């Protein structure tokens, strides 16, 4: 059963004036296109195809708001770094994300989803710097951990942890093997507990 029986999709926004009321608290999920953001949300909420996943990068092109329970939300952000998107659209997403991060009062944490086989990319580092400037607590899900042997997954975790220092927390995660779901839920709930 879902840990969030009251969870439901709220709306998809293509412009800031479509965002739902900025009250309560919410945690945003960001990351490169195709990293596994929507899959991570589905495992955390424990509902299949709650957030839509796809093999085609760039699937989530809107800011999708989900309510976990009254006044507590999870936000699926459009993936960044997908090259085959027209420049105009990429700029539109960029502005949308920037407005979201700069104006959203209820934003209380960021979950950054990173494909463990790629590690942190420059896009991710930019996102981390941005979160630090807000400031916003960041938790990284090194996802698709099922794709690596245990030893290499552990080494990847150490490497990212070293690079981050105290700047953010990081864990192994897999939407396929369900590894790390409880840990991620714990971090999410701590972010949603204050206020
Ligand atoms: N093996 C494995 N595959 C995964 C995992 N998480 C996601 N995938 C696959 O990776 C692809 C992309 O997953 P999504 O969750 O749609 O990724 P996303 O980050 O939401 O992508 P965009 O919304 O397009 O930016 C899909 O084919 C998923 O099935 C995982 O933990 N393990
Ligand atoms: Mg997605």
SS3 82: coil
C-alpha span between 185 and 86 (Å, rounded):
35
C-alpha span between 8 and 102 (Å, rounded):
25
C-alpha span between 145 and 47 (Å, rounded):
20
Question: Which ligand minimizes its atom distance to the CA of 147?
Answer: 1
Q: Is 32 in the pocket of ligand 1 (CB under 6 A)?
A: no
Which residue among 33, 40, 54 has the greatest number of ligand 1 atoms within 8 angstroms of its CB, and so is best to mutate? 54
Residues in contact with 6: Cβ distance below 8 Å, sequence separation at least 6, in sequence order: 67, 68, 69, 70
SS3 99: helix
Model pLDDT for residues 45-68, shown as the tens digit of each residue: 998 888 887 777 665 578 999 999
Q: Is the pTM of this model over 0.85?
A: yes
Cross-strand partners of 67:
8, 73
% pLDDT > 70, the chain:
96
* Residue 69 token pair: 């329970």
Rounded average pLDDT over 2-10: 91
C-alpha span between 178 and 137 (Å, rounded):
24
SS3 36: coil
pLDDT, position 97: 86
Q: Is 177 in the pocket of ligand 1 (CB under 6 A)?
A: no
C-alpha span between 77 and 13 (Å, rounded):
10
Model pLDDT for residues 86-143, shown as the tens digit of each residue: 788 888 888 888 899 999 999 999 999 999 999 999 989 989 988 988 889 999 999 9
Give the number of other Cβ atoms within 10 Å of residue 185's Cβ. 16
Model pLDDT for residues 136-170, shown as the tens digit of each residue: 999 999 999 999 999 999 999 999 999 998 889 99
* Residue 179 token pair: 């590894």
């Amino acid at each position: 059963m879902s840990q969030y029986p009251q969870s439901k999709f709220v709306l998809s926004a293509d412009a800031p004036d479509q965002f739902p009321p900025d009250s309560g608290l919410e945690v945003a999920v960001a990351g490169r296109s195709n990293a596994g953001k929507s899959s991570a949300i589905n495992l955390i909420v424990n509902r299949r195809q709650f957030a839509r996943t796809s093999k085609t990068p760039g699937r989530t092109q809107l800011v999708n708001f989900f309510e976990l329970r009254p006044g507590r939300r999870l936000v699926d952000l459009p993936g960044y770094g997908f090259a085959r998107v027209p420049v105009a659209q990429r700029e539109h997403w960029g502005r949308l994300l920037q407005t979201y991060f700069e104006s959203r009062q209820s934003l209380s944490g960021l979950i950054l989803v990173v494909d463990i086989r790629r590690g942190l990319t420059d896009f991710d580092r930019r996102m981390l710097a941005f979160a630090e400037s807000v400031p916003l607590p960041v938790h990284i899900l090194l996802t698709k951990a099922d794709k690596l042997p245990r030893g290499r997954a552990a080494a990847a975790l150490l490497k990212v942890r070293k690079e981050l220092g105290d700047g953010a927390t990081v864990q192994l995660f897999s939407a396929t093997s369900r590894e790390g779901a409880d840990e991620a839920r714990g971090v999410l709930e701590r972010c949603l507990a204050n206020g």
